[in-house]
Amino acid sequence: MQKTPSPEYKTMDSRISETLKQDIEKLSGRSKAEIPKSEALRIAREVWPHLFRISEPVPLKIGIHKEMIETDQVPPMLIKIALRYFVEQERYLEALKEGAIRIDSNGKRSGRVTLREAVGAELALYRKQQRKLTGNTCDNREFIGRLRVVQ
């Protein structure tokens, strides 16, 4: 069971503006379903602009959410919502090419994208495109050549 941060959640970083602190506190009291994904991403982009570049996304380190949570700048739930929303975007998935360098929360190199991860990103892009074309969001199984993909 996930703990919901209390509304009085305070950020520890003085670099965060008062307006941003107020936005974080406002969202902290809400349930996960009530928090707009775009708002969570906006907050994350203000705190970590080098990680959440929309026009030129860079592959993020596996487990980067743990580093971000340790900074105690943004409640864990907002971080998770923002990350999930960000990594599901088409531009991010397109950036996941085999051998691409991943970065950590400080912007330093932290591994590379594996072939398996790159193929997974390609399949996710394919699914998104098929949903756009057919409008079908119910069927989780697809056939690609002889490969059957099951979620």
Instruction: Name which of 38-42, 102-106, 131-135, 145-149 the model is least confident about.
Output: 145-149
Close Cβ partners of 100 (under 8 Å, ≥ 6 residues apart): 58, 59, 112, 113, 118
Q: Which amino acid is at 39?
A: E
Chain length of the chain = 151
Instruction: Name which of 6-15, 58-67, 90-99, 140-149 the model is least confident about.
Output: 6-15
Q: What is the pLDDT of residues 5-41, one digit of tens each?
A: 333 333 334 467 888 888 888 888 888 889 999 999 9
* pLDDT band, residue 137 (cuts 50/70/90): low
Burial class (CB in 10 A: 0-12, 13-18, 19+), 74: buried
